């Protein structure tokens, strides 16, 4: 199963390392990643494979949101199909 992870917040050192390490600890594979800096802000979107993880998607979303708060970022996780449905016209 694939999911979309979005990360937004003030730019600072180590964001990608913290997020990718967090996902790796849960056996979640990053399939694709795009990130950019917009002025002082960091924005990243990742397509991840959560099929190897024992963490349920709902729990993963909660854990990512909590981890995001700890590092001062907004981190959201959605099932790929929900993300696509929300962003199609």
**Phi, psi at residue 6, to the nearest 5°?**
-115, 140
**What span, in angstroms and rounded, lies between the C-alpha atoms of 23 and 4?**
12
Topology at the third CATH level for domain 2-86: Alpha-Beta Plaits (3.30.70)
**What span, in angstroms and rounded, lies between the C-alpha atoms of 46 and 49?**
10
Mean pLDDT of the chain: 93
**Domain segments of the chain: what residues?**
2-86
> pTM above the 0.85 mark?
yes
SS3 state of residue 31: strand
| Percent of the chain clearing pLDDT 90 (strictly above) | 87
List all residues 6 or more positions away from 85 whose beta carbon is below 8 Å from its beta carbon.
none
The pLDDT value recorded for residue 85 is 66
Q: pLDDT by residue (tens digit) across 61-77? A: 999 999 999 999 999 99
Segment 37-50 shows an average pLDDT of 96
Helix or strand (DSSP H, E) at 50: none
Q: pLDDT by residue (tens digit) across 21-34? A: 999 999 999 999 99
């Amino acid at each position: 199963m694939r999911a979309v992870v979005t990360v937004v917040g003030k730019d600072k050192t180590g964001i990608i390392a913290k997020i990718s390490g967090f996902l790796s600890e849960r056996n979640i594979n990053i399939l694709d990643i795009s990130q950019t800096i917009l002025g002082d802000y960091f924005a990243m979107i990742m397509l991840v494979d959560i099929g190897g993880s024992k963490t349920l998607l709902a729990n993963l979303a909660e854990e990512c949101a909590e981890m995001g708060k700890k590092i001062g970022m907004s981190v959201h996780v959605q099932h790929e199909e929900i993300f696509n449905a929300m962003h199609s016209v």
